[in-house]
Amino acid sequence: MTNLDFDRASGFANAALAMLKRSQIPPFPVYYELFYTYATGANSELNSQINAILTRSGNISLEEATGLCERFLKISDMEDRLRAMSEIMSRKITDVNQAIDYAMATANSYSGSLQQASGDLEAGIDEDALKMLSSRLLKETRRMQDMNRRLEAELENSKDDISVLQRDLDEVRKESMLDPLTKIPNRKCFDEQIILDLQRARRDDTTLALLVFDIDHFKAFNDTYGHLTGDQVLRLVAQVLKANLRGRDMPARFGGEEFIAILPETELRGALTVAENIRKSVQSKELLKRSTNEKLGRITLSIGVAELRAEDTVASLIERADQCLYAAKRGGRNMVVSETDLPPNEEAGVA
């Protein structure tokens, strides 16, 4: 790197840190990367978005910065982080194994020295030979003590490192199960949980309901008011879901503007009540553009509800809930449709 390159990189770094400080955003690596990229001008769309926010309000909020990171930096790096931790763990295991191998070799050598000394003593040796034997055994004993201290230190260090890795691994696992934008479980988490809940329902002979939600006209809303406002809508819906679900109920972002919720030990009638409460709660919230307090209107949900049947698989239960959702959209949106509302041919998958 030339002095000129170094000076330019330093300038970008200083500009990024200055923006973080001015907006009172914590200097976490992902936010630093966002503003460093802005300072370089390498992503014209990112710069356009940030410039629009700065023109409107002078500063960027933490929420806006998070939304920009999720959109432009592709921060879903779970696989890379897991791979890196796996490599570190592998190196630690290798280091411990090498330390143990060395300790075993030293112990075997020490054992051999003791056996040889025992033989010499039984055979009888003179005073000079005894002194030499004592000196050799003392040296071997000290070497053995040094080795034990080294092994103990290596194991202690590895224990601490592995504890840190375990904590990081737990955090990554938790993060990998959450949608980064809405902070509710993601599709991967849902796919794992629905299998467990179906198995539990059959084992305990209990029921289960599934709710599928879609934000009405979300694409048009997103195109009109921008992705950041669209992200606010997605977070709002997620918050309403969390507020209206209880106990072992689990909401998840299924993809795009579609959400899903598992309601264990819930019959169809109870699930319809929950769905209707969620629909009304979302509809009741008027959206405001934070920078200008401009009223953006209201959003609504179409919701499909299905109850687990004896012959259901995960796929058939989701498909039936999806059919209910599509029926709600065809019926005019902003409504709840259950499987009992479907015509027979549609329920069978003909429509």
Residues belonging to the active site: 257
Task: Give bridge partners of residue 344 from the DSSP assignment.
Answer: none
Burial 79-110 (b: 16+ CB within 10 A, else e): eeeeeebeeeeeebeeebeebeeebeebeeeb
Cα 249 from Cα 245, distance rounded (Å): 6
Q: What share of the chain is helix, strand, coil (3-state, %, to 5)?
A: 70, 10, 20
Cα 249 from Cα 226, distance rounded (Å): 32
Handedness of CA 36, 39, 43, 49 (dihedral sign): positive
Rg (CA), the chain: 32
Q: Any idea what DSSP says for residue 257?
A: T
Count of helix runs (H) and strand runs (E) in the chain = 12, 7
Task: Give bridge partners of residue 209 from the DSSP assignment.
Answer: 263, 307
SS3 state at 180 = coil
Which tokens belong to 190? 């849902």
Spatial contact of 286 and 298, defined as CB atoms under 8 Å apart: yes
Cα 243 from Cα 256, distance rounded (Å): 21
185 alpha-carbon distance from chain centroid: 9
Task: Give bridge partners of residue 184 from the DSSP assignment.
Answer: none
Cα 286 from Cα 236, distance rounded (Å): 11
Cα 304 from Cα 256, distance rounded (Å): 17
Task: Give bridge partners of residue 185 from the DSSP assignment.
Answer: 178
